[in-house]
Structure 1
Amino acid sequence: MKCSECKYINVSDGNGSPGRCYCKHPNRPKEVTGTELVICNSERHTNRVLIKTSPRWCPLKK
């Protein structure tokens, strides 16, 4: 599964600067915290997820 297709991704607005895409999956590993939750940065003024893969710790990765 790609992060861009996942329903658990949350894109925060950067207020003029690039936004950040976070993983909000309830079954993600507990040791994944802080900056590791940031999957990627988005472009300015858009909610488009730029990552084409998923992190190795993703619970939906098969």
Structure 2
Amino acid sequence: MKATRSVLLICDAAVKQILLTLNEKWSFILDDLDDHHVVIKADDEYRVRKELEVELEKNTYSLEGQ
């Protein structure tokens, strides 16, 4: 049996919620430790970081005209 390599991600609660939503699509979370720590499959780390970046871009805003 092959062992799955893992990566510990540390994040704030808002990012954790995004990760949980993404996990529903791709099932990359191995262990949900607490509000700020999650263990994911190492093979999925790059994709998870890229998808998280896309999601965070959607949630940014700017205050123009001030």
One fold, TM greater than 0.5? no
Larger Rg: 2
Alignment TM-score, normalising by the size of structure 2: 0.27
Greater per-residue helix proportion = 2
Alignment TM-score, normalising by the size of structure 1: 0.28
Greater per-residue strand proportion = 2
